[in-house]
């Protein structure tokens, strides 16, 4: 079913996507191993470790294992050391993700990139990391670069919104726009700093249980070709509209505070309720005035690409919007298999959503929907929401099935605290990032229904304050 032009066609397209996760994965034992290595048992630490076992995350993607030198010094790493690792281990991921997005967008000549919009919340330097990514890609020195800061987990959609407005500006001037949007987050290196705060302040800080590492990129375009002989390739997604909103007086609930040992996660127990409360009004605002095709009358009629900030964020969205886990199947799949990679996660979710295996587990066996709502929450608290039209003829392969059981949170109780994804990854730096594209999930990681019910019940009783 085609979307009516009355659904605000803006001539904006996502022509290509790229996602790169680092070579290693961490299960719940990674945090426990470092905690026992450097801190005594305390009530706060025991509480955090208990929550860590029931986050619903099977494994978090990471640039290293628990024996990485950076997290095994007498003291937590300094912000300068964190920056060095961000550049050495993170920037190559961003370069690889960008190359993947450019290739799918059929941009063989990088001189066609007119702008670059980037985001991160896990590094701060001048010039920013985007400068080095642009340099490595051979982008023109005249490319207009913008680096977003202070947007946290909403950074991916904030960057997409910024790119969309830049595209519209070029359209008004009658100029083609091809914008490379890049997000990069290296969060797992903050584990020692977070554990130190848990121990010293006796605080329940759960960010250490959730966050992971990732780079992702998309190429955004307006509908003006560079020449009549170079037509635009078909889009992966078309961007139809967006909304941005800040929830008043929530600055203390969600954030990422600067500290000599990096950044400290701010995550209050109010976040799930606050994010749930703003979902429906933002959705209604996004849909207001649009004449959508028949069959699109409520949230359950769309597919959803929700940023998986945590299990309670996703289950809260289900209750408020009246949707099922299968509506957010790519969000759950990404959360279970990689964790929360902050701003880089949403593009990974959109990339995963178009996998043919994801289409096979759509709600009620109805198949994939053409219209998709993307949503992410960031510090402030801010909400970013957008309406996308998926090109259903461009479906990618991927892992088999929906690896996120509906309304189920799983723990990793087997295996080591840190494990490589494959034999190749055991070689460490000998394997290039081009050769690593996420991880495959084994049969042994699928849990039985009895265990799932137990864990779901346990999650309901966990207090985060």
Which residues are known catalytic residues?
153
Counting Cα atoms < 13 Å in the Cβ hemisphere of 323 gives 28
Taking a C-beta distance cutoff of 8 angstroms, is the pair 361, 402 a contact? yes
Pairing type for strands 371-378 and 303-306 reads: parallel
**Torsion over CA: 288, 271, 246, 376 (sign):** negative
State yes or no: cis peptide before 313, omega within 30 of 0.
no
With tokens 């649009």, the residue in question is 290
With tokens 């289900």, the residue in question is 318
Taking a C-beta distance cutoff of 8 angstroms, is the pair 237, 390 a contact? yes
CA distance linking residue 30 with residue 24, whole number of Å = 12
What does residue 79 show for φ and ψ, rounded to 5 degrees?
-65, -30
Q: Distances from the Cα of 321 to the Cαs of 236, 438, 457, in angstroms?
A: 26, 31, 22
Counting Cα atoms < 13 Å in the Cβ hemisphere of 24 gives 22
3-state secondary structure of 15: strand
Backbone Cα Rg of the chain: 21
CA distance linking residue 121 with residue 338, whole number of Å = 18
């Amino acid at each position: 079913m085609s979307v009516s032009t009355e659904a605000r066609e803006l001539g904006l397209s996502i022509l290509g996507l790229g996602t790169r996760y680092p070579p290693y994965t961490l299960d719940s034992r990674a945090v426990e191993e470092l905690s026992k290595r450097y801190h005594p048992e305390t009530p706060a630490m025991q509480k955090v470790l208990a929550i860590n076992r029931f986050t619903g995350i099977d494994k978090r993607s990471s640039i290293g294992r628990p024996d990485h030198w950076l997290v095994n010094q007498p003291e937590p790493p300094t912000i300068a050391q964190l920056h060095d690792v961000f550049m050495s281990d993170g920037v190559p991921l961003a370069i690889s993700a960008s190359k993947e997005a450019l290739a799918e967008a059929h941009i063989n000549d990088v001189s066609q990139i007119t702008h670059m919009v980037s985001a991160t919340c896990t590094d701060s330097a001048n010039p920013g990391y985007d400068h080095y990514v642009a340099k490595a890609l051979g982008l023109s020195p005249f490319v207009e670069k913008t680096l977003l800061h202070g947007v946290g987990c909403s950074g991916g959609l904030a960057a997409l919104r910024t790119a969309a407005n830049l595209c519209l500006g070029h359209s008004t001037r009658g100029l083609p726009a091809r914008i490379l949007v890049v997000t990069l987050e290296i969060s797992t290196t903050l584990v020692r700093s977070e554990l130190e705060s848990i121990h010293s302040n006796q605080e329940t800080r759960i960010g250490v249980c959730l966050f992971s590492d990732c780079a992702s990129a998309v190429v955004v375009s307006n509908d003006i070709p560079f020449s009549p002989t170079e037509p635009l390739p078909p889009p992966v997604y078309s961007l139809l509209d967006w909304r941005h909103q800040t929830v008043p007086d929530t600055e203390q609930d969600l954030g990422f505070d600067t500290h000599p040992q990096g950044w400290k996660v701010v995550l209050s127990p109010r976040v799930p309720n606050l994010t749930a409360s703003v979902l429906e009004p933002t959705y209604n605002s996004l849909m207001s005035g649009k004449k959508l095709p028949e069959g699109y009358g409520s949230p359950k009629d769309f597919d959803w690409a929700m940023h998986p900030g945590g299990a309670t964020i996703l289950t809260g969205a289900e209750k408020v919007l009246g949707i099922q886990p299968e509506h957010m199947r790519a969000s759950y799949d990404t959360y279970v298999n990689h964790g929360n990679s902050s701003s880089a996660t949403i593009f990974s979710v959109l990339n995963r959503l178009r996998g043919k295996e994801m289409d096979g587990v759509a709600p009620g066996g109805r198949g994939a929907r053409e219209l998709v709502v993307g949503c992410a929450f960031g510090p402030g608290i801010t909400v970013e929401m957008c309406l996308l039209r998926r090109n259903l003829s461009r479906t990618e392969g991927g892992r088999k099935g929906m690896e996120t059981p509906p309304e189920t949170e799983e723990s990793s109780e087997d295996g080591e605290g840190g494990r490589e994804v494959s034999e190749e990854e055991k070689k460490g730096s000998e394997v290039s990032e081009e050769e690593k594209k996420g991880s495959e999930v084994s049969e042994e990681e699928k849990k039985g229904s009895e265990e799932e019910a137990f864990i779901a019940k346990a999650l309901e009783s966990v207090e985060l304050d």
